[in-house]
Amino acid sequence: MSSLRPIEKIIAPPPIHWVGDGFKVHNFLPGDGSLGLQRMSPFFLMDYNAKTFFTPSASPRGVGVHPHRGFETVTIAYQGKVAHHDSAGYHGVIGQGDVQWMTAASGILHKEYHEKEWSKIGGWFQMVQLWVNLPAKHKMSTPKYQPILNEQMGKHELDDQKSYVEVIAGKYKSAIGPASTFTPIEMYNAKLKAGGEAFFNFPKNFNTAFLIIEGKVEINGTSATTDQLVLFSNEDGDIHLKAIDNAAVLMLSGEPIDEPIFPYGPFLMNTKQEVIEAYNDYENGKFGHLED
């Protein structure tokens, strides 16, 4: 076995805040800014709605119409259902186990709500939303939408024949993820039964972190538990993941985008002037139209 990749830190879930009235999230990235805005590039934002019970509601909870430019949103559903609509005409429901990959790029309006029928019943809700930065040359590309159903993901069965790795983007062993990305990204879900284990290896320059969605695990011999984020140093080495309990782990690794960024509100651009232009375009109706 090669050397193990060092863990830089294990981050406890930050204080909760609400996004609209439907998403009760821990904002791991950029968080309090102590990691720096580029530490997990190309991943800029991670909002994690830890397991939460929502009571039935006739009026679906969520977030109304809002704009984005310069990046992609990736929503991963672990429990619950979310309906999505945007000004490019795309719409769909993100169900348990599914992923929605929306490329805002040159500009889009969208809204996200608990799916209507699910909302009437209520139940357990758990999701992750990521903002994935785009390189300058692609920030003004045409918006697109990738609905990724669970059955479309590549799956690699582990040695215990009970545990497996789902590949959303990139490749693990022979399993290939269906997501199309603008820069090299590895994004997996490991679903492990107690005692299940696996090894992973990412290029040392790839920024890498694991979010523990469920259960208790050991990562390179260090314990981590539900709702913690494990950030790895940018050094060579394998990552050994072992489940102590039945566990689910979201794995993120990506090649950093070595460009300046200027984030402001719902926009993620390279310069202040580009953000000003984004606001002007939004106010002048260039992002299209979408009913709230």
- For the stretch 73-120, pLDDT in tens is 999 999 999 999 999 999 999 999 999 999 999 999 999 999 999 999
CATH number, domain 7-283, options 3.40.190.290, 2.40.37.10, 3.40.50.300, 2.60.120.10: 2.60.120.10
Q: Tell me, what's the pLDDT at 246?
A: 98
What's the rounded mean pLDDT across residues 128-146? Answer: 98
**Among 260, 246, 237, residue whose Cα is nearest residue 8:** 237
DSSP 17-66: EEETTTEEEEEEESTTSTT-TTTTTTEEEEEEEEEEEE---SS--EEEEE
Does the pTM of the predicted model rise above 0.75? yes
SS3 117: helix
**In whole angstroms, what is the distance from residue 76 CA to residue 48 CA?**
10
* Cis before 30? omega within 30: yes
**In whole angstroms, what is the distance from residue 6 CA to residue 233 CA?**
6
